[in-house]
Amino acid sequence: MSSYLVTGGAGFIGSNLTELLLTDPDNTITIVDDLSMGLRTNIPDSSRITFYEHSITDHAFMSQLLMEGQFDYIVLLAAVASVADSVERPYATHQVNQEANLNIIETLRTQKIAFKKLFFASSAAVYGDSPELPKKENMAVKPLTQYAVDKFATERAVLNYGRLYDMPMVCTRFFNVYGPKQNPKSPYSGVLSIMMDALEADKPFTFFGDGEQTRDFIYVGDVVHAIRGLLETPSARDDVFNVANGKQTSLNQVAKELEKLTSKKLHATHKAPRLGDIRDSYAETAKLDQFDFMTHTPLAEGLAKYVASV
Ligand code: UD2
C-alpha cells in the first residue's frame, strides 16, 4: 500500500497520473489543487482520493499537510503551466513555481519527514532557444522567461537537497505533452488542445507565426508511466530526465494530421510569434529510455486516442 501526494492533481497531467495510480487498489492519493487551471471534474470519483482545493503557495497549509500526511511519494506538478502566462505574471509565477516548492522541500528537510521519493516536473523551457538540437540533459541551459528560470531553479534546488541532505529526489523536463483532459479554455493552454477545440467547435485558430515552428509532442499516457516508473525505481534519483517522444513535428504537420482524423478543416489565421517563444525544440530521450517502463506512443496513434476522447 502506497500513499501519494499529488500537487496539481486536478490538472491535465496530474489527473491522468491519478487515474493510473488508482489502478492499484492499494494506493491512496491526496490532491492539492487550487483549480486555477485544473478542473474538479478531472478528479476521479474514488474513496481513495482526498482532495484539498488549496494553493500550494499557502506555506503553513502545505507544511502541516506534509507533517501529518505520511506520504510515501510526493509528486510536484502544481504550476503556472505556461511560458506566455509567466511573461504576463512573472512574480506570481515565481511564487508558485519556485517559492511554494522550496517551502515543501524545506519542510521535508527541517521536519525530518521520511518519504520514498519526491518528483518535480521541470520543463524543456530551461534549454531556451539555443540552436543545438536535440536537447540533451547535460547541455548548457538558457532560461529565457521567468517560467524557465523558476523551473530550472527549482529543479536544481530539488536535486541539491537530494545530494546535500540525502533525500530521494528525481526531476524531469517535460516537452509538449498532449492528450485527454488537457484544458483548451485558456489562451495559454497547450496548442494541440486549442487546435482540437477549434476543429470540434468550428472556431478560428490562430497560428502565432507561420506554423513551421517545431515541438516534440508526447502523449500524456507515456508521461504518467514515466512518472510512476521514476518514482518506483530506486536507482532513478538525484537526476533529471527529458520526457519527450524524441521527434520534431511542426504545428502545420500536426494540423494536417488532426484535420485528417476529425475530417474537418481548420479555419486558420496568423499573428506575430509570441514574446519569448522558442522556434524549434526536440529532445534526446536516451537517458530515460534506459528504463523499460518508458513508452513512446507514435504521434498519429496518440492523436487518434486524443480525438476519440473528446
Ligand atoms: C510548452 C509548455 C510549457 C513549457 C514549454 C517548454 C504547454 C502548454 N506548455 O510551451 O509549459 O514546458 O513548452 O518549451 O505544453 N501556438 C499557436 N497558437 C495557439 C497556441 C500556441 O500558434 O493558439 C504556438 C505557440 O506560439 C508555440 C507553439 O504553438 O510556438 C506551442 O505553444 P504551447 O503554448 O502549446 O507550448 P510551448 O512550447 O510554448
Domain locations in the chain? Answer: 3-176+218-243, 178-215+247-282+298-309
Q: What pLDDT, on the 0 to 100 scale, is given for residue 209?
A: 97
Whether the Cβ atoms of residue 295 and residue 222 lie closer than 8 Å to each other: yes
Indicate if the pLDDT at residue 200 is higher than 80. Answer: yes
**For ligand 1, is residue 207 a contact (CB within 6 Å)?**
yes
Q: What pLDDT, on the 0 to 100 scale, is given for residue 233?
A: 98
Q: Whose CA is nearest to atom 6 of ligand 1?
A: 125
**For ligand 1, is residue 297 a contact (CB within 6 Å)?**
no
| CATH code for the structural domain at 178-215+247-282+298-309 | 3.90.25.10
Q: Whose CA is nearest to atom 3 of ligand 1?
A: 82
**For ligand 1, is residue 191 a contact (CB within 6 Å)?**
yes
Q: What is the largest CA-CA distance in the chain?
A: 57
Indicate if the pLDDT at residue 130 is higher than 90. Answer: no
- CA–CA separation, 21 and 4 (whole Å): 9
- CA–CA separation, 6 and 88 (whole Å): 27
Q: Whose CA is nearest to atom 34 of ligand 1?
A: 190
Q: What pLDDT, on the 0 to 100 scale, is given for residue 302?
A: 98
Mutational pocket test of ligand 1: of 12, 83, 141, the residue with most ligand atoms within 8 Å of the beta carbon: 83
CATH class for the domain made up of 3-176+218-243: alpha beta
pLDDT tens digits, one per residue of 153-165: 999 999 999 999 9
Q: What pLDDT, on the 0 to 100 scale, is given for residue 129?
A: 84
Question: Does this model's pTM top 0.90?
Answer: yes
In which band, very low, low, confident or very high, does the pLDDT at 183 lie, cut at 50, 70 and 90?
Answer: confident
**For ligand 1, is residue 125 a contact (CB within 6 Å)?**
yes
**For ligand 1, is residue 121 a contact (CB within 6 Å)?**
no
| Pick from 272, 260, 128: nearest CA to 210 | 272
Catalytic status, residue 147: yes
Backbone phi, psi, residue 79, to 5°: -165, 155
Q: What pLDDT, on the 0 to 100 scale, is given for residue 187?
A: 77
